[in-house]
Amino acid sequence: MSSAPLLRRLRSSLPVLVIVALGVLLTLHGTANASAMSLSGYAWSSNTGWISFSGPGYGVSEDSVSGALSGYAWSSNIGWISFNASDGSHPAPAVNFVTGKVTGWALACAAFANKNACSGALDGNSGGWDGWISLSGTASDGSSYGMVQSPTCGWTGYAWGSTPVGWISASGTATNGSTYGVTGSSQAICAGQIVTTCTGSPASPYVNQPVTWSSSTVGGSGSYTYSWTGTDGLSGSTASVQKTYITAGQKSASVTVTDTITHSSTTATCTDSGTGTQGVPVQACTSTLTATPSTVNQGQNTTLTWSVPGGSTCATSCSGGSGFNTGGAISNSTGVSATVPPSPPTTSYALTCTGGTYGPPPPANATVTVIVPSVTTFTVNGQTGTARVNPATPNNVSIAWSSADATSCTVTKNPTSTGWPKTGLSSAGTTDSITTQTVYAIDCVNSYGTSAKASVIVNVLAHLQEF
């Protein structure tokens, strides 16, 4: 039977097919396997014209492990050609990565009444044609035919679509002298090479948290052996292995994958599943405790801030010491008061946490230095504690003082007299005249009301009379 009348009858329904097909292009006829190698380019049939293997929203893909073909090609004359169909008499299409031979069947949807379903009752105009296209086989004259994928991904050879479609050429030279052909997108896969990647997860795990190293391999025969090596004695012979690390640090892993058929092998170094950087950083649970400020004046409070960066993974409860209360919280972000008055000269605080899936962390510590106001010098006539003066001598008293870490100093006199008390943080010498026992006292205070005091008792010499 000539193919021309049949094609004319089938083409009569093609405008409807095109309109419907474009409406379902993205949902029904997209590339079937997003992780597989994509095919592109054109094949040619003298009966049906150009057959496109990829386009906006559709395409034929080749599984990089099994070689299975899936998806849809498009012909402007007969519409969709499915690489997803198979039945007991028509094996699914696939590429043998070792030989490059393309086997199985594709299916022209134009043969069916429901062309977008590509199944069901045949089109009344199909003349009994079932739409099957043989990708390799034996011709009526006994010769072999078939499409073949080369190690460089180019396709050659012919498929047979019976009388309506005829021979389909995978590559060749068009009448205008240009070349055409179907080709794959990965020469490593087409050459039968194996390509392996591997990752470690979870990203940034904790000590004692299991780390899973997983490999993904494409190409070759699809049957592989595995050999793992890595930090802290990592080993294994499966596609994924698990390791629990008992120390923190950067952990590395690599896997060597060997094709059981071709015996070719490749080695991959693993990356962190979260960051993509080489290896996985295993971290220890930690806690932090900080005092702000870490140096205070006596009487000044400090605010303690604590946290467990790993949260409940590392701790479920924390407690404090030296007069500060966490309320059991693992972070003070909950509003628990942590303002405390440290004692001089230093006060040390400790945070102790318990629980946690991979905890608890070691204790955290913070030390606060307390600055105490002081009277560094307080003398009368160069004497401390007590002094004696001659009451008959004018300006017989010279008071000198100095202070540290105080904001004000007040010097008083008892009994008092006009011009007293005196103020100032220091004085090289303030003079006074006394004729009776007098007590001079100094009180230096910091901004928080803490004071430092000193005093000197001044006695007067007895007055001697002549007889």
Which of 25-34, 116-125, 431-440 is predicted least confidently? 25-34
What percent of the chain lies above the pLDDT cut of 70? 90
Task: Check pLDDT > 50 for residue 30.
Answer: no
Rounded CA separation 159/54 (Å): 18
Task: Judge whether residue 25 has pLDDT over 80.
Answer: no
Residue 199 banded pLDDT, cuts 50, 70, 90: very high
**What is the pairing mode between strands 179-184 and 37-45?**
antiparallel
Phi (first) and psi of residue 259, to 5 degrees? -75, 125
Q: How confident is the model at residue 324 (pLDDT cuts 50, 70, 90)?
A: confident
Cα-Cα-Cα-Cα dihedral of 58, 63, 67, 72, to 10°?
Answer: -10
What is the residue-averaged pLDDT of the chain? 88
- Please count the helices (runs of H) and the strands (runs of E) in the chain: 5, 41
Bond preceding residue 293 cis, omega within 30 of 0? yes
Q: Which of 98, 449, 95 is nearest to 301 (CA)?
A: 449
Q: Is pLDDT of 217 > 60? A: yes
Overall pTM > 0.75: no
pLDDT band at residue 172, thresholds of 50, 70 and 90?
very high
Query: 226 is written with which tokens?
Result: 């595995």
| Rg of the chain taking only CA atoms, in angstroms | 46
pLDDT tens, position by position, 242-281: 999 999 999 999 999 998 887 888 999 999 999 999 999 9
Q: Which of 241, 261, 262 is nearest to 251 (CA)?
A: 241
What domains can be seen in the chain, in order of their start residue? 3-190 (no CATH), 194-282 (2.60.40.10), 288-371 (2.60.40), 374-460 (2.60.40.10)
Cβ contact 213:244 at 8 Å: no
Nearest to 87, CA basis, from 126, 42, 118, 50:
118
126 has a pLDDT exceeding 50 = yes
